[in-house]
Every structure is written in structure tokens, then in C-alpha cells.
Amino acid sequence: MNKIVIIGAGKFGTSIAYALSKNTDNSITLCDTDKVRIEDINKNNCNSTIFPNKKLNKNIQATTETEEAVQKADVIISAVPAIAIQKVSEIIEKNRQAGSILINTSKGSATKDKLTTPSEIFTKSANELEYYTLSGPNFADDIIKDAISISTLSGKGNSDKILEILENPIIKIEKNKENAMGVELCGILKNALAIGSGMSDEFEANTKIAILAQGIKEIQFILTGESFTEKTILTSAGIGDIILTAQSEQSRNYRFGKVFNKNKDVNKTLKIIDSTVEGLNTIETLQLFTQEKKIELPLFEAIYNIIYNEADQSCIKKAIGQNPKTN
């Protein structure tokens, strides 16, 4: 029996648990600090505050005792917001057993003052850790409905072994043996692009796609500058996730951009969205990143100026066709 511990019983953690529970060789424990949520899962096989009336399989249990669960885990999956990664990494390092495998699913910068990938935190704090990132064009609301999905498993360990554990009928897994950091950068940057796409919601179709194409060009420019190949952006975690997040109102980052157009106020918009918007932190840390690397990213600069410098929405159109460059 594969003992899988998922830290974070939110939407994505719960949906991943549901998918992996289809493999009857897996015993799954969801960890969370919300006692009501944990009791609901254990007593009713349901996380009703997130997915009302959706029954979970009985090989899913839940606990608030994360440290104890990690000690017994063969596979640990972190499904927390990116900003909580530092705390989770410390728990894992202090409690994991030798030979355990860590999989990150977070898509966002792990710090507020710098563009930091999850792997930079997890692999720094944990020695000799077999580490992967699982990322792709997946909405939790669709996974829980058994919608066929695809994700990229990125990392340099024995991926054939972990692929057997992750095998399930809902999420198809593709391998990418490059450094996980490239896939994580895609996951971080697409959130900022999705906000820009939401801002362009009322534009004509040609213009909306031109903005999307500009964003992809700028993301590829960053990846190339950080020594990642074109293979990274061509994965499902790259172009697949970019298209999904930047073209759907299921994306909270897209919704943020769309709603922000109407009220021009970050706090009011966040209150309406009522969810974590990872792209906001990305936009801020990306601004610092461009200054540090001495590069110009016309579209991402325009998005930043609209949100924080009261620039007119039309400046996003002016970025179309401009080449990102090194100063």
C-alpha cells in the first residue's frame, strides 16, 4: 500500500486526493488545520465546504496532525498556496522518513519580496530529497467531476516509480526530466498573464489572442534567459496551463483582471473574488526580477502599471508586437 500524504485540504488538494484514490493501492491522508473540514471528511467522506454533495472514496482519511502523518508517508504532496511553502518545507524536513518522495503542486512565487520557485525552498531545506513538481492545465472543479486531464511531472529522480503511484484514470501524466524549476516558472508566470488576459476580456478576439501571444513570447524569453529549453514551455504545464488559465473565467487570476477593470481597486476586487490570487504577487515580484536582470517585458510592465500606477487599460494594447529585451 502506497502511503500518500497531501498537505492542504483545499480545492486542489481534495481533487488530487480524489483522483489518486481511484488507485486502490493508495492510502491517502489529507492534512489541514481546519478541524470542521477534517471531521467532515472522516465522518461523512465529504469536504462539503468546498465540494458539496461530492462523496470521496473511503481510502481517503484526514487529520490535523500533519507532522505525524508526514512521518509515515511514502509520498508527500504539497497542495498549499505558494506563500505557505516555507512553513510546509520546515515541517517536511523535520518529520519525513528516509526515502520519501516530495511532490509540489503549488503555482506561485514562494516569497513576497522575490520571484522564488517552490523548488528553491523545498530542495534548499531538505537534503537528499527526491523532488518533483506536478503541474498542468487542471481546474479542481473539473477533476472532481472526473474530467480527463493532463499534467507534467517534472524532476530528475526515478520518475517511473512515482508514475506507478500517481497512475489514475482522471489525470494523465507526462514526464519531463528537466529541472522542475522551469515548469514552476511557467506556473508562476501564467498567473500574471491570466490577469492581463482578464483585463482584455472586452477586447475583440484578435486583440485578446495577440495579448496572449505577447505574454507567451515574454515567458519564453524569461525561460531562455534562465537556461531552460523550448521543451519546457511546450509541455502541458507550459503552453497547456497558460492557455487554460488565461482564457477561462474558472481562473481566479483571469476573474481578478476582469473585475479589476470595473472598479480599479485591488482590495475591492480581492473581496469580490474571495480567493487567493497568486498572480498579484507574481506581478510585484516580476517587477523586481526585471530590474535585477535588467530586462524589459512590455506586457508584464503594462499589467503592473495598470494595477499599481493607475495607467489606462489601453496601455496593454501598446505592448503587442514589442520584443522583450535585455538592457
Question: What CATH number is attached to the domain comprising 302?
Answer: 1.10.1040.10
For residue 11, pLDDT over 90 is answered with: yes
Do 164 and 288 fall within a single domain?
Answer: no
Q: Which residue has the cell 520518475?
A: 159
Do 99 and 185 fall within a single domain?
Answer: no
Residues constituting the chain? 327
Q: Which residue has the cell 497531501?
A: 6
Question: Residue 98 corresponds to which cell in the numbers above?
Answer: 528516509
| pLDDT at 127 (0 to 100) | 65
Judged by DSSP in three states, 237 sits in helix
Tell me if 76 sits within 8 A of 101, measured CB to CB: yes
pLDDT, the chain, mean:
94
For residue 159, pLDDT over 80 is answered with: no
User: How far is the C-alpha of 159 from the C-alpha of 176, rounded, in Å?
Assistant: 9
User: How far is the C-alpha of 301 from the C-alpha of 305, rounded, in Å?
Assistant: 6
Do 9 and 158 fall within a single domain?
Answer: yes
Judged by DSSP in three states, 50 sits in coil
Kind of pairing between the strands at 149-154 and 325-326: unpaired
User: How far is the C-alpha of 41 from the C-alpha of 47, rounded, in Å?
Assistant: 5
Question: 189 lies in which domain range?
Answer: 181-326
- The domain boundary residue, chosen from 121, 156, 177: 177
Residue 197, C-beta contacts closer than 8 angstroms, at least 6 positions apart: 208, 211, 212, 215, 246, 247, 254, 257
CATH code (residue 118): 3.40.50.720
Q: Which residue has the cell 502523518?
A: 69
Question: Residue 281 corresponds to which cell in the numbers above?
Answer: 504577487
User: How far is the C-alpha of 80 from the C-alpha of 88, rounded, in Å?
Assistant: 8
How many domains does the chain divide into?
2
pLDDT in tens, 79-123: 999 999 999 999 999 999 998 999 999 999 999 889 999 999 998
Do 160 and 262 fall within a single domain?
Answer: no
Do 207 and 266 fall within a single domain?
Answer: yes
Query: b/e per residue, 68-84, with b = 16+ CB within 10 A?
Result: ebbeebbbbbbbbbbbb
Do 275 and 198 fall within a single domain?
Answer: yes
Do 187 and 51 fall within a single domain?
Answer: no
This prediction has a pTM of 0.94
Tell me if 31 sits within 8 A of 16, measured CB to CB: no
What percent of the chain shows pLDDT beyond 90?
A: 87
User: How far is the C-alpha of 86 from the C-alpha of 106, rounded, in Å?
Assistant: 12
152 closest CA partner among 92, 107, 195? 107
Higher pLDDT, 192 or 1: 192
What average pLDDT score do residues 37-58 get? 96
235, HSE (Cβ side, Cα atoms, 13 Å): 29
- The domain boundary residue, chosen from 136, 151, 177: 177
Do 173 and 297 fall within a single domain?
Answer: no
What are the backbone angles phi and psi of residue 112, rounded to the nearest 5°? -90, -20
Do 144 and 210 fall within a single domain?
Answer: no
User: How far is the C-alpha of 136 from the C-alpha of 141, rounded, in Å?
Assistant: 14
What average pLDDT score do residues 119-141 get? 88
In sequence order, what are the beta bridge partners of 133?
104, 154
Which pLDDT band holds residue 125 (cuts at 50, 70, 90)?
A: low
Range in 150-164, 200-214, 284-298, 302-316 the model is least confident about = 150-164
For residue 61, pLDDT over 70 is answered with: yes
Which pLDDT band holds residue 148 (cuts at 50, 70, 90)?
A: very high
Tell me if 242 sits within 8 A of 279, measured CB to CB: no
| pLDDT at 141 (0 to 100) | 96
Do 141 and 260 fall within a single domain?
Answer: no
Which pLDDT band holds residue 179 (cuts at 50, 70, 90)?
A: confident
Which pLDDT band holds residue 220 (cuts at 50, 70, 90)?
A: very high
For residue 222, pLDDT over 80 is answered with: yes
For residue 126, pLDDT over 70 is answered with: no
Do 173 and 185 fall within a single domain?
Answer: no
| pLDDT at 33 (0 to 100) | 96
Tell me if 110 sits within 8 A of 82, measured CB to CB: yes
- The domain boundary residue, chosen from 177, 203, 222: 177
Tell me if 254 sits within 8 A of 195, measured CB to CB: yes
Do 132 and 219 fall within a single domain?
Answer: no
For residue 169, pLDDT over 70 is answered with: yes
Q: Which residue has the cell 488545520?
A: 33
Residue 164, C-beta contacts closer than 8 angstroms, at least 6 positions apart: none
